[in-house]
Amino acid sequence: MAVRYRNPALAVDSVWFSRGRVLLVRRGRPPFRGEWALPGGFVEYRETVESAVVRELREETGLAARPVRLVGVYSGPNRDPRHPTTSVVFRMSGRYAVPHGGDDAREAAWVPVEEVGRLAFDHAKILADARRQERRLRGRRS
């Protein structure tokens, strides 16, 4: 008899800063319907995390960007109320443009970083980690 494993779902999220703003989406579906979140979603079968984050960003915002740095890997049984999830989070870079909500994102917008309030899932922690990472990198370049 074959052993069946119950594994966490693999997801990706993107953090894209531009002009003092961060790109966010307003969720169109549960969980957290109507709340702001980082653009992201689940990795498809036979897809790399790098191609998944590019695809999810394009589907949810209409924008094209590329991953430039790993922010971190976030895991735990309670990150997503649907099931245990592990997210690989990338810092993205691309040409600034006006986003448009698509796929399961009701809305997409550049939000001033200092005005970001509550975020879905554990995205406030992820955003805080990405901001600390950016400050450290800027400090090294000075």
In the beta sheet, which residues pair with residue 105? Answer: 27
Average pLDDT, the chain: 95
CA distance 33 to 15: 20
User: Helix, strand, coil shares of the chain as percentages rounded to 5?
Assistant: 25, 35, 40
Q: Which residues are the active-site residues?
A: 107
Q: What is the mean pLDDT of residues 89-104?
A: 96
pTM given for the model: 0.93
Give the residue among 133, 141, 142 at the shortest CA–CA distance from 17. 133
Q: Is residue 67 predicted with pLDDT exceeding 70?
A: yes
The residue behind tokens 């995390």 is 49
pLDDT tens digit string along 98-107?
999 998 899 9
Q: Is residue 117 predicted with pLDDT exceeding 90?
A: yes
Question: What pLDDT sits at residue 142?
Answer: 59
Assign domain 9-141 to its CATH architecture: Alpha-Beta Complex (3.90)
Q: Is residue 123 predicted with pLDDT exceeding 90?
A: yes
Q: Is 14 exposed, middle or buried (0-12, 13-18, 19+ CB in 10 A)?
A: buried
Sequence ranges of the domains in the chain = 9-141
Percent of the chain residues past pLDDT 70, beyond the cut: 99
